[in-house]
């Protein structure tokens, strides 16, 4: 890979591009600027004017209205895909085919079939691939994972939580995500429910094996403004001119599920297998819950102790005990498990927020480019995993019954996470 040496730090920064100039595009840009040895060299927008506006202040040399112009540039090593969901698949596919490492916003694609193609393509081209489940990288989320890995929780019994927002509470709230054509057939479960399931599986190391889901579209009609409204900005922008529009993406979902361990895997040549686990769980997701701004809460109960965390207070972690006082820690590197410590850049009580999670994901993604290390970030196969859960959710709701969730082949990273992968030797 470009024969980068140890001192690439000074000589030869990795050149990257951003596709998309909306809320997520700007968040990615700012986080990339905080990294050593990475240079944002190009931006693609819906229009070249939109791209130019974002590029101007940072001396980014190349802008384009057609992302393919950027893919054709051999100087570009990697791309970030920050466009509406329906574009993720074609953009990621072409980027991989152009030999670029790809970091894609979630969801990875609109269907599991698309997701499988991308996983295979990345493996075939031996390219680094990341799906941006950035919420994993809050320091306290990593602390929960490391507590579980160290056995502090014992056997996992119960996993539960919510992901609640209120920005689509009114029928006058609109965003491209409401429209199934731009965002895919699922909204609330795909946008935020998938973050929750990714976190639950990441922390516990377990996999959802079966589930029963109930979805609800409280507003079957919404007033779509005639001009475009960026994600979240509807609360501040009134719109005068509407079209009454039928909505079939869900405002709310409730899921009960069972979890077990992932067995088998790619080495044996067989498809992945899951055991029917003893763990039980429940989750709800909503975009119509007044007062909840971005409340992802997760609670994990084991035979030895419990943990609970809430994204609206990201630097805090609750640990529950039967025989001693419960614990509520404020993030402090000196109190984190050694393996979680590198996710906290600041000293105790100096809060780290949403933007900082992107810095953590991107730093690890770029560290893995050209280096023989095991990815410590969510990969395409994790994005595919979420698409399979999502398929099961949609099917369960439709059939009003329990559904089995198929395993993802090769998804056994928790078993071998201390061994360098083949893909690492690029």
281 lines the binding site for a copy of itself (CB under 8 A): yes
416 lines the binding site for a copy of itself (CB under 8 A): no
User: 24-63 as b/e, with b when 16 or more CB fall inside 10 Å?
Assistant: bbebbbebbeebeebbbbbbbbeebebbbebbeeeebebb
What backbone torsions phi and psi does residue 137 show, to the nearest 5 degrees? -95, 10
Site for a copy of itself in 61-120 (CB under 8 A): none
Query: By C-beta, is 126 or 350 nearer to a copy of itself?
Result: 350
5 lines the binding site for a copy of itself (CB under 8 A): no
Query: By C-beta, is 2 or 354 nearer to a copy of itself?
Result: 354
Q: How far is the CB of 36 from a copy of itself (least distance, A)?
A: 3
Near a copy of itself by CB under 8 A: residue from 126, 243, 355, 398: 355
Q: Which stretch binds a copy of itself (CB under 8 A): 67-75, 94-102, 259-267, 300-308?
A: 300-308
Q: For helices 23-33 and 354-368, give the axis angle rounded to 10 degrees.
A: 60
2 lines the binding site for a copy of itself (CB under 8 A): no
**Cα–Cα separations (whole angstroms), residue 2 to 98, 207, 234:** 15, 37, 44
Number of residues that bind a copy of itself (CB under 8 A): 100
Q: What is the side-by-side order of every strand in the sheet holding 78-81?
A: 62-64, 38-44, 14-19, 78-81, 101-104, 129-131
> What's the number of CA atoms in the CB half-sphere (13 Å) around residue 289?
17
316 lines the binding site for a copy of itself (CB under 8 A): yes
DSSP β-ladder status, 101-104 and 14-19: unpaired
236 lines the binding site for a copy of itself (CB under 8 A): yes
318 lines the binding site for a copy of itself (CB under 8 A): yes
Binding mask 386-415 for a copy of itself (x = CB under 8 A): --------------xxx-------------
Q: How far is the CB of 189 from a copy of itself (least distance, A)?
A: 13
Which residues, 6 or more positions from 57, have their beta carbon under 8 angstroms from its beta carbon?
none
**Residue 51 contacts residue 45 (beta carbons within 8 Å):** yes
Binding mask 148-177 for a copy of itself (x = CB under 8 A): ---------xx-x-x-xxxx-xx-------
246 lines the binding site for a copy of itself (CB under 8 A): no
335 lines the binding site for a copy of itself (CB under 8 A): yes
221 lines the binding site for a copy of itself (CB under 8 A): no
Near a copy of itself by CB under 8 A: residue from 99, 348, 410, 424: 348
Q: Which stretch binds a copy of itself (CB under 8 A): 71-79, 117-125, 343-351, 386-394?
A: 343-351
Q: How far is the CB of 297 from a copy of itself (least distance, A)?
A: 11
Query: By C-beta, is 129 or 175 nearer to a copy of itself?
Result: 175
The number of beta carbons lying within 10 Å of the beta carbon of residue 416 is: 12
Query: By C-beta, is 182 or 335 nearer to a copy of itself?
Result: 335
- Burial class for 303, CB neighbours closer than 10 Å (0-12, 13-18, 19+): exposed
**Residue 337 contacts residue 385 (beta carbons within 8 Å):** no
User: 308-333 as b/e, with b when 16 or more CB fall inside 10 Å?
Assistant: bbbbeebbebbbbeeeeeeeeeebbb
CA distance 177 to 179: 5
45 lines the binding site for a copy of itself (CB under 8 A): no
**Residue 44 contacts residue 64 (beta carbons within 8 Å):** yes
Q: Which stretch binds a copy of itself (CB under 8 A): 26-34, 83-91, 221-229, 405-413?
A: 26-34
């Amino acid at each position: 890979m470009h024969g980068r040496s140890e001192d690439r730090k000074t000589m030869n920064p990795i050149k990257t591009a951003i596709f998309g100039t909306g809320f997520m595009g700007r968040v990615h840009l700012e986080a990339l600027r905080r990294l050593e040895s990475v240079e944002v060299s190009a931006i693609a927008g819906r229009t070249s004017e939109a791209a130019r506006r974002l590029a101007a202040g940072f001396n980014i040399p190349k802008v384009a209205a057609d992302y393919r112009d950027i893919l054709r540039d051999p100087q570009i090593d990697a791309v970030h895909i920050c466009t509406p969901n329906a574009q993720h698949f074609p953009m990621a596919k072409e980027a991989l085919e152009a030999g670029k490492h790809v970091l894609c916003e979630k969801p990875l694609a609109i269907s599991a079939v698309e997701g499988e193609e991308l996983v295979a393509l990345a493996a075939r081209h031996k390219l680094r691939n990341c799906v941006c489940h950035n919420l994993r990288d809050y320091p306290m989320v990593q602390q929960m994972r490391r507590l579980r890995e160290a056995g502090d929780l014992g056997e996992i019994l119960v996993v539960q939580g919510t992901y609640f927002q209120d920005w689509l509470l009114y029928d006058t709230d609109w965003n491209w995500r409401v429209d199934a054509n731009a965002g895919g057939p699922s909204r609330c479960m795909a946008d935020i429910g998938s973050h929750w399931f990714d976190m639950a599986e990441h922390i516990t190391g377990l996999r959802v094996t079966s589930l029963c889901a109930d979805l609800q579209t409280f507003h079957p009609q919404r007033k779509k403004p005639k001009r475009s409204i960026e994600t979240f900005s509807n609360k501040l922008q009134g719109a005068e001119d509407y079209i009454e529009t039928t909505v079939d993406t869900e405002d709310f979902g409730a899921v009960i599920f069972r979890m077990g361990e992932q067995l088998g895997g790619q080495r044996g040549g067989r498809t992945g297998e899951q055991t029917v686990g003893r763990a039980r769980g429940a989750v709800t997701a909503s975009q119509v819950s007044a007062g909840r701004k971005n409340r992802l809460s997760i609670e994990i109960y084991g035979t030895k102790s419990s943990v609970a965390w809430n994204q609206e207070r990201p630097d805090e972690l609750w640990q529950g005990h039967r025989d001693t006082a419960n614990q509520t820690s404020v993030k402090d590197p000196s109190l984190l498990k050694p393996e979680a410590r590198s996710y906290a850049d600041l000293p105790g009580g100096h809060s780290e927020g949403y933007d900082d999670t992107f810095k953590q994901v991107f730093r690890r993604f770029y560290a893995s480019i050209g280096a023989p290390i095991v990815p410590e970030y969510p990969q395409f196969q994790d994005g595919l995993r979420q698409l399979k859960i999502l398929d099961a959710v949609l099917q369960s709701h439709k059939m009003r019954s329990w559904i089995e969730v198929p395993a993802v082949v090769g998804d056994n990273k928790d078993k071998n996470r201390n061994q360098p992968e083949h893909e690492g030797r690029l």
